[in-house]
Structure 1
Amino acid sequence: MICLIPSYEPDNRLTQLIHELKAQINATIVIVDDGSGPLYRHLFEQARREGCIVLTHLTNKGKGRALKTGFSYILDLPDPQGAVVCADSDGQHLPADIKRIAEAAVLHPDHIVLGGRRFTGDVPMRSRFGNTLTRKVYGAATGLNVYDTQTGLRGFSFSMLDCLCRIPGERFEYEMNMLLAASEEGWPLLELPIDTVYLENNQSSHFRPLADSFKIYLPFLKFSASSILSAAIDFALLFLLAWWTDHLLVAVAGARLCSSIFNYAMNRRFVFRKKNGAAIARSMPKYFALVLLILLLNYGLMAFTHEGIGLPLLASKLVTEASLFLFSFWAQRKFVY
């Protein structure tokens, strides 16, 4: 069993966590000093004296990079046993919960085991709001129900580590990217409830609300931008073809064909980042099968709202596209790319 702790500018709670872990778990403790600097060196030296392995970044590189540094180190060990459990160094994860997630990771190999906080009691508003928003967005995009998408307490089997090192993301967005990659890799998610602990109103957190939130939501933002550009093409061609042919099905089909070719190229290159030829051969048939399905849904909804109940063409198009947007993201993430 290995406990991996990324740490940036810790306080004495790191030392306390080490003592409590050593009393409760028979585990190798690997700590990554993510460029904390000379003022914090004594805490990492104390960790070494306690028998921990300490890896050091000379400059701050972010939590995602610190985790990948730890995973790479563990991959090079001669014969690691058990599983890997990742925990934060700021006292938010209780040793009893760390132990429980570690044991679950051993019992459920090839699962990502999540320690899910329930956000009851005295929880800072930004944490409650941020986790609620991320949970809703993640659920809508993937169809998966994860209560705490931002938890840092996670357990993995050793067979996952090589792939985990290749998931993009250097800072807090890495943990969201990991969950987005789980379904692609065939890793079920197992979420176990843990205590919610926020000390001193979570002042020790190094999460940057604007910059890190932007990176967490970047996959969704890129998909939205791609969809907006594709929608602009689709809208323009729809009205042009409707005026030219006076036939709704021809207008819907022609506009969607052109906009979908553009959308596929954008999503493959910039959103889901599958660039090699084999990936194109796999994704293109699935993408255009999805296009056909959405085309039929698109036409059916527009026929109902425009020709059936008499909505103007623009209003009918807006209602239809809004209804199909999240379905399209979820289907592309889960089945196409």
Structure 2
Amino acid sequence: MKISVIVPSLNPDEKLLEVVKSLKEKGFNDIILVDDGSDDSHKMAFNEAAKYDGVSVLVHEVNKGKGRALKTAFEYFLKERPDYDGVVTVDGDNQHKAEDVLKCCEAMISNKSLILGVRDFSRDDIPARSKFGNNLTSGIFKTFCKLNITDTQTGLRAIPREFIKDMLEVKGERYEYETNMLLALKSHNIPFMEVGIQTVYIDDNESSHFNPIKDSIKIYKVIFAYFFTTTAFKYTLCSISSWVIDNLLFNIFSFIFVAAVSRDIRILLATVIARIMSSFYNYLMNAKLVFKSQRSMKTTFIKYYILWIGIMLCSFLLVDLFTWLLGLNLQLTALCKIIVDLCLFFASYNIQKKWVFK
């Protein structure tokens, strides 16, 4: 197992040397420290660490952020360590214990996956700001990004070599970069798993350079920006706009036909014309904007309208069936229609994604 340990640090104290020493004792022979623009009064820790065999120090003359520090180390790794299996990122404040670092590396090798070292935030001794921040972010990840990650703030991540280039393409220069890395697991189809590690906070995490307000805003901005560009969100917007267009067209054609035909024929014509026109709009938006299909228009058009007809028939049959079985009155039938169509909405999304526009 040939792993490079990456430790980005800004203005470190003696804890950085403790990290290096413990890693060496566990058999890690390649440690890459990144001095992210530390001032002169904090250079001693890097100078002392560089005396150990197998320790390299990369220097940013000015502070560029944790994201850029990690990218600098990734670039160095790809160029200088061509025969290594991967890297593991570790914080320089001694919160990640060497035995946990080793455990994550072993899991990476055996599972060929990116490994997240996750802490237990249910404990009573976790600093309040860390517990609240992680639980909130974890919940948002699960709700909006469909990523179930226990510890979204962990800096202990073992990354196989094959995924390092993907990580270099991830946007972000500061703390938001680590959030973008997690989002990239989904967008780049990178397999990952979690490994439980010790939960260590030193002096209530006072040595952290994380700004609770400024950096949190950047992180949540990244998360919501990701959600608003997801296929599911665009599909929902497209469906809502199609519904609005359908209703507008229905009213327009109802007005046009009001003096020409009987009420029943007017409603039927307005409904059919509006539904056909709004469905064609929905088809074009889904094909070009939502799913960005590369398949021929003829193929997707036929499949879309097969599904379109099928969804309408299912809606009618299911509502009619439940109304008959449950003996629903007019108001409950309307509620049943909403529930059935909502279920069909999600079914239609998956069918369009996996069959119509695949």
TM-score by length of 1: 0.75
2:178 is aligned with 1:178: no
Match for residue 236 of structure 1 among 228, 232, 244: 244
Task: Output the CA distance in 2 between the equivalents of 1:44 and 1:117.
Answer: 28
Task: Output the CA distance in 2 between the equivalents of 1:6 and 1:195.
Answer: 20
Q: CA-to-partner distance for each residue in 1:117-136, whole Å, 9 max, x for gaps?
A: 12132223332233223323
Bigger relative contact order, structure 1 or 2 (CA pairs below 8 A, ≥6 apart) = 1
Aligned positions, number: 319
Q: Which residue of 2 aligns with 1:87?
A: 90
Where structure 1 has 5 or more consecutive residues not aligned to the other structure, the ranges are 269-278
Matches within 5 A, 1:115-134: 115-121=117-123, 122-134=125-137
Indicate conservation of the 8 Å contact 2:235/2:349, yes or no: no
Q: Per-residue deviation at 1:161? A: 1.6
**Secondary structure of 1:147's partner?**
coil
Task: Output the CA distance in 2 between the equivalents of 1:291 and 1:197.
Answer: 57
Indicate conservation of the 8 Å contact 2:9/2:92, yes or no: yes
Q: Percent identity?
A: 29
Indicate conservation of the 8 Å contact 1:115/1:194, yes or no: yes
2:260 is aligned with 1:258: no
Q: Which residue of 2 aligns with 1:75?
A: 78
The residue type equivalent to 2:16 in the other structure is L
2:316 is aligned with 1:309: no
Q: Which residue of 2 aligns with 1:214?
A: 221
Task: Output the CA distance in 2 between the equivalents of 1:282 and 1:21.
Answer: 52
Indicate conservation of the 8 Å contact 1:173/1:216, yes or no: no
Q: Per-residue deviation at 1:75? A: 0.5
Task: Output the CA distance in 2 between the equivalents of 1:133 and 1:263.
Answer: 32
Q: Which residue of 2 aligns with 1:45?
A: 47
Indicate conservation of the 8 Å contact 1:230/1:262, yes or no: yes
Task: Output the CA distance in 1 between the equivalents of 2:8 and 2:309.
Answer: 47
Q: CA-to-partner distance for each residue in 1:139-196, whole Å, 9 max, x for gaps?
A: 3455453322332111122222222212223233333333333345443212111112
TM-score by length of 2: 0.71
- Worse overlay, 289-298 or 163-172: 289-298
Q: Are the structure 2 counterparts of residues 227 and 320 from structure 1 closer, same or farther at C-alpha, using a change threshold of 3 Å?
A: same
2:205 is aligned with 1:187: no
Q: Which residue of 1 aligns with 2:66?
A: 63
Task: Work out which of the two has the higher radius of gyration on C-alpha atoms and give 1 or 2.
Answer: 2
Where structure 2 has 5 or more consecutive residues not aligned to the other structure, the ranges are 254-265, 323-329
The residue type equivalent to 1:255 in the other structure is S
**Secondary structure of 2:80's partner?**
coil
Q: Per-residue deviation at 1:217? A: 3.5
Q: Are the structure 2 counterparts of residues 47 and 129 from structure 1 closer, same or farther at C-alpha, using a change threshold of 3 Å?
A: same
Q: CA-to-partner distance for each residue in 1:271-305, whole Å, 9 max, x for gaps?
A: xxxxxxxx86379999x989997997799679959
